[in-house]
Structure 1
Amino acid sequence: MVEGIRLHRATVYEWMVGLIGLGIAVYYLPSLVHQNVLVTLFLFVLAILLEVFPVPLGKVYSSLLIAMPVAVSMTYGTAEAIWLMVVAELVFPSLRRATMKLSVRIFNAGQYAVSVWVMVLLMQPFAGDRAVALNDWQTYLQVLLGFACFALVNHALIHFLQFLWGQFDPRDILHLLTGEGINILIALPFALLLMAIAPFHPLVAPSVLVPIVLLGQTIGLHQRTNLMQQIYRVTGQLTSEFDLDRISQSVAETAAKLTYAEAVMVLLTEPGTESPVFLPSAVHPLEETANLNPFRENLAAGVVGQALLQAEYSYVPDLHKAGLTQEEREGPYLSVAVFPMRSRQRVLGALICYSPRPYAFGEMLNLPQTLANQVSVLIENARLYQALQEQTWRDGATGLHNYRFFYEALAHHVEQASRKQEAVSVVVVDVDYFKKFNDTYGHLAGDAVLHSLGKLMVEVAGPKATVARYGGEEFGLIFPLDAQETYAQVEQIRTAVSHHVVEYEGYQLQGITVSIGIASYPEHGQSDRDLLLKADSAMYWGAKQRGRNHTALYSPEFDAQLFVDELTGLYTYHFINIRAREEIARGVQQWGVVCLNVDRFSHVNEIFGFSVGDRALRELSLVIKEGVRHTELTSRFAGDEFLVLLPNTTHAELDLIADRIMKAVSLRRFDVTSTVTLSLRTRHSSAVLTDIRDVTRLFDQVGRLFAELHRVSGESLA
């Protein structure tokens, strides 16, 4: 409704100013008849050429045509000055094939006629009956006054029209007057030269304006080159950007600056569909989303839909005259320009510019078209990158995202929650007794269980949750919910798993249960790493160690149990599992491993008692700990087994460390009583593991080393 009122008022104003100006021109027509025809035609041609090559000045276009009305009115008369402006404005749109509303064309001609007429009226008191004399200071004052009057009246009429459209911005006035002032400084010498020659050679004098035509073309070309360079600068900055939303937003903002469109929308095609499906990727400014309604079902209807279906550029300057139904129109907008983005004969999306003014984009269409062409390549590259990234972020066995993606997503969610002061929860899910599936039915059956559970979790967790395979038989989930809401959601997952049956080669694998731990921001931790450790702690100590098939919220009581083995003071296996996963995520693929086992330790417990055995393990742990550096991970792997992990270690370094530890252990004696001393016999196995891209593979190989160590120990005892 409001836009309709603005349209009506602006159109009435255009016709009013245009007809008044043309009326003034008709009034002076008899005086024009008495002028020299050749001079008049020559001046008309020069004026048309100056107007054909305009200079962009923000939302409007100007030209060096301002050089003519002052000089021509003072040398050839008011009629000549008015009519050359009117003819130039009526003729040039046809020469440029510009799409322009008739009322706008009449307005442009009329407002120039009015501007010249007012200029002449204000200059007359300074002119009197004197002839033009360049040695008279009053002539220069008259010329400067003429330029100022023409520019001020001209821009006052234009700005009032913008005000009626609701697009008036006071900041534009200074910018436009600055540009117009530069045009006046350029035009002034040519105007004075015309006035100096005309009294003596009236037929030759107009030829002095020919250079200004060439100069106008040069300035216009320079301005357009600057705008094109702006496009190339923006697209150049986006060459290293692979986020489609950020690319689209930057493109929308740039198109709005280039065209002064009221709104810009970027649509992208949805990958993997047989026929193109266009989805909104960016709207600028964001508050225009309500007017555009980019999520409506009939997005492809009307003007935009036809252009997208035909994959061709389309510009409708006035939707009121396009014969469209109300549903097919584009909200409150009257001008719509659609620029498809194509690459390799495929449509990747579209850049769409909107304006509530009819005929808004006639002079600027080549700029967004160039932008759309440049961005097409960026979009294709971004999609190729995302496809490759998706492959590196997917787990082959389950089809879920892998731990690399999970770490990235968790960091992003926590950062976003911190910025918006919202809650987010991380969940660790571990399949109970998973080893029995591998041992009983084989590893393929285990993979089938993981794949089926992954699908089930995605379904139950809902579209807002992130589900990933965290490692081995563990899954990681992220919920944009607080602890209690997440607990309720996760309990549904645990219950669903307990009733789930996996079909595998005729077998029905059932009785599957999971242990689940939850930690939430900001209640339980402030960083992504802290939350993950605490969710792992809740899963292991709050659920796994308390009977399995439980869901546990993080509690501070779990911390010491998570990080440090209570008996030995070494790291727990659970902790080094997490640390190893983090190192692998950072790119560490080579690991040195030292596995130690105490021979026949059960005999120590049988002979001397468990208290002596526990004290011996504590002292042995101190010896091992003293033999490693702070960057090396030492843990109590199992009862009498110890593990040392060394990231990025060579064979030579590993041999030195292993020898140092074993020598220190062999020299250690443990006092049982004042008269009894105990010497523990240990065996070790060490290896450098390479190409480790997954923590599951790392600990699978660690398990094999311990198995081999036990086999050798058993043979020696036999």
Structure 2
Amino acid sequence: MISQINKFVNKFITENRLRLMPWLVRTSTLLILLLLGAFVFLDFEEINDLYLKYGIFILFVFFFVRNDINNYWQIRGLQHMYSEFKEINRVTEALRSTMNLENVLDMILHNLTRELNYERSFIFLTVDEKQKTVLRGEIGMGVLNEVLRQQVFDLDETTGIISRTAIEKKPFIIKDAKNDHRCEQQLVELLNLKEFATIPLIVRNNVLGVLVVVADGFTKQAITEEDLTLLEIFSNQSAIAIQNARFYERIERLSFSDELTGLYNHRYFQEKLREEYNKAKENNSSLSLIYFDIDDFKHYNDTFGHLEGDNIIRAIGIILHSMLEESACPARYGGEEFAVILPGKSKDETYELAEEIRKTVENYEFEYKKTSRTKNLTVSLGISSLSDEVKNHKDLIDVADNRLYTAKRSGKNKVVKG
């Protein structure tokens, strides 16, 4: 699309190259010719009144100069637009050079401020939260990203200009943010907004987010409709880059994570356990493992259906994500079986954590409990550690697995550590 516009503008300027001559030289030459022509015409018509002659001459000059000035500024505008198109084309080529979402977003901000000369810019992206899509601040300038990410807006026109831009899929120019009823005043104060524009990030009619650009406060140059046209082209190309990066990250994530729970998958777990085992042996440090599964899962699956079974497994993933430290490696081992690698944790510390997991699951409000009097869901857990004198990383799994089935045989809903 951009290359086609570039060709059109370039062709237009080339075909009108006469108009790109220095304005003063071109005007002076033509004025002399016009002067001679006017006086010849007036003498031919035998007009003797000098005032009338000069009046007609000045009128000719006025119309010519006005037309010339208009043409000059039109060409200047075209030249400026052409240079902007070339810059956007160069920027979008750079955006295609990376598939890392963080790098893509950084490049978008950098080019808006350094190349397109906006004072600041911010990006809001659509994310799924609590079974609905919302707009969340992702990255910006002049505010901490951690603070910006706390700004979340429902896709509802009543929540303000950010949401309206996404819903209506069109850009807006805000001239006075503090006095514009469409603007969220909390956001205006947080981002120190005065004059700014919002542009939707759209790919194939799907909104990925909203771009916010702030007018340059030093030059006091306002954002125009022409600027908005260029920003829409830039945002469309940026949206494609964002979508490609998200798609790539999703594919990459699926290669080592379980899609249903967001936990690591079996293959990654095996690789990580081998890596942590070798590291613990080399550094003479602690390493422990929790291995557990859901008690009587087949009964719940048969009673409430496979969709509810998936909801239960998904909820286990949520529980583990919320309880574990960053150094832990939680994985869906297979089916209703889960495992947690715990670098640096002793057997006693691991036992305490396993008990917390067991109690949390037992008291968790699963969806099925809202419509059924069935007993609470429970898990049985087995733990192992390097203190069990294991010979390799596979022994850690075998020991924990044996203790898990000891917990099963002895009544379920318990932790066995040895």
Give the TM-score, by structure 2 length.
0.55
Change in Cα spacing, 1:510 to 1:262, as seen in structure 2 (3 Å) is: closer
Letter in 2 for 1:374: Q
Residue 107 of structure 2 corresponds to which residue in structure 1? Answer: 250
Candidates 352, 355, 362, aligned match of 1:491: 352
Say whether residues 1:352 and 2:212 are aligned partners.
yes
Structure 1 residues 93-113: Cα deviation after superposition (integer angstroms, max 9, x where no partner): xxxxxxxxxxxxxxxxxxxxx
Letter in 1 for 2:116: T
Letter in 1 for 2:381: T
Q: Could you say what secondary structure the match of 1:260 adopts?
A: coil
Q: Could you say what secondary structure the match of 2:165 adopts?
A: helix
Say whether residues 1:278 and 2:135 are aligned partners.
yes
Q: Work out whether residues 261 and 314 of structure 2, in 8 Å CA contact, stay in contact via their aligned partners in 1.
A: yes
Say whether residues 1:268 and 2:125 are aligned partners.
yes
Candidates 355, 374, 383, aligned match of 2:237: 374
Q: Could you say what secondary structure the match of 1:350 adopts?
A: strand
Structure 1 residues 653-686: Cα deviation after superposition (integer angstroms, max 9, x where no partner): xxxxxxxxxxxxxxxxxxxxxxxxxxxxxxxxxx
Residue 73 of structure 2 corresponds to which residue in structure 1? Answer: 51
Root-mean-square deviation (Å)? 5.6
Shift in Å at residue 338 of structure 1?
0.9
How far apart, in 2, do the equivalents of 1:292 and 1:488 lie?
Answer: 34
Structure 1 residues 624-680: Cα deviation after superposition (integer angstroms, max 9, x where no partner): xxxxxxxxxxxxxxxxxxxxxxxxxxxxxxxxxxxxxxxxxxxxxxxxxxxxxxxxx
Residue 281 of structure 2 corresponds to which residue in structure 1? Answer: none
How far apart, in 1, do the equivalents of 2:62 and 2:262 lie?
Answer: 79
Say whether residues 1:329 and 2:188 are aligned partners.
yes
Residue 227 of structure 2 corresponds to which residue in structure 1? Answer: 364
Residue 339 of structure 1 corresponds to which residue in structure 2? Answer: 199
Change in Cα spacing, 1:344 to 1:405, as seen in structure 2 (3 Å) is: farther
Structure 1 residues 145-197: Cα deviation after superposition (integer angstroms, max 9, x where no partner): xxxxxxxxxxxxxxxxxxxxxxxxxxxxxxxxxxxxxxxxxxxxxxxxxxxxx
How far apart, in 2, do the equivalents of 1:509 and 1:450 lie?
Answer: 14
How far apart, in 1, do the equivalents of 2:163 and 2:261 lie?
Answer: 39
Residues 461-470 or 304-313, more deviating: 461-470
Structure 1 residues 287-325: Cα deviation after superposition (integer angstroms, max 9, x where no partner): 433798452356874433332332211112343564668
How far apart, in 2, do the equivalents of 1:425 and 1:337 lie?
Answer: 54
Structure 1 residues 344-384: Cα deviation after superposition (integer angstroms, max 9, x where no partner): 33322111112362544335333331121123334444555
Letter in 1 for 2:237: Q
Candidates 393, 405, 428, aligned match of 2:289: 428
Q: Could you say what secondary structure the match of 2:144 adopts?
A: helix
Q: Work out whether residues 383 and 416 of structure 2, in 8 Å CA contact, stay in contact via their aligned partners in 1.
A: yes
Q: Could you say what secondary structure the match of 2:212 adopts?
A: strand
Shift in Å at residue 227 of structure 1?
1.0
How far apart, in 2, do the equivalents of 1:334 and 1:410 lie?
Answer: 53
Structure 1 residues 670-705: Cα deviation after superposition (integer angstroms, max 9, x where no partner): xxxxxxxxxxxxxxxxxxxxxxxxxxxxxxxxxxxx
Candidates 283, 303, 317, aligned match of 2:175: 317
Letter in 2 for 1:309: I
Q: Which has the higher contact order (CA 8 A, sep 6+)?
A: 2
In our comparison, the structure showing a higher alpha carbon Rg is: 1
How far apart, in 1, do the equivalents of 2:146 and 2:262 lie?
Answer: 40
Equivalence map 1:220-231=2 (5 Å): 220=80, 222-231=82-91
Change in Cα spacing, 1:258 to 1:490, as seen in structure 2 (3 Å) is: farther
How far apart, in 1, do the equivalents of 2:102 and 2:62 lie?
Answer: 57
Equivalence map 1:218-617=2 (5 Å): 219-220=79-80, 222-238=82-98, 241=99, 243-271=100-128, 276-283=133-140, 285=141, 287-289=142-144, 293-296=148-151, 301-319=159-177, 322=180, 326-327=185-186, 329=188, 331-355=191-215, 357=217, 359-362=221-224, 364-384=227-247, 393=256, 395=258, 400-406=263-269, 428-431=289-292, 455-456=315-316, 458-459=318-319, 462=322, 465=325, 466-470=329-333, 475-477=338-340, 483=345, 488=349, 491-494=352-355, 496-497=357-358, 512-517=380-385
How far apart, in 2, do the equivalents of 1:507 and 1:275 lie?
Answer: 30
Q: Could you say what secondary structure the match of 2:124 adopts?
A: strand
Q: Work out whether residues 334 and 356 of structure 1, in 8 Å CA contact, stay in contact via their aligned partners in 2.
A: no
For structure 1, which runs of at least 5 residues remain unmatched after alignment?
1-32, 56-216, 414-423, 520-532, 553-718
Letter in 1 for 2:170: E
Change in Cα spacing, 1:317 to 1:349, as seen in structure 2 (3 Å) is: same
Shift in Å at residue 246 of structure 1?
3.7
Equivalence map 1:98-113=2 (5 Å): none
Instruction: Name the count of aligned residue pairs.
Output: 320
Q: Could you say what secondary structure the match of 1:329 adopts?
A: helix
How far apart, in 2, do the equivalents of 1:425 and 1:256 lie?
Answer: 49
For structure 2, which runs of at least 5 residues remain unmatched after alignment?
1-53, 277-284, 369-373, 408-414
What is the identity percentage for the equivalent residue pairs of Structure 1 and Structure 2? Answer: 16
How far apart, in 1, do the equivalents of 2:267 and 2:215 lie?
Answer: 45
Equivalence map 1:53-68=2 (5 Å): 53-54=75-76
Q: Work out whether residues 302 and 329 of structure 1, in 8 Å CA contact, stay in contact via their aligned partners in 2.
A: no
Residue 64 of structure 2 corresponds to which residue in structure 1? Answer: 42
Shift in Å at residue 395 of structure 1?
5.0
Letter in 1 for 2:151: R
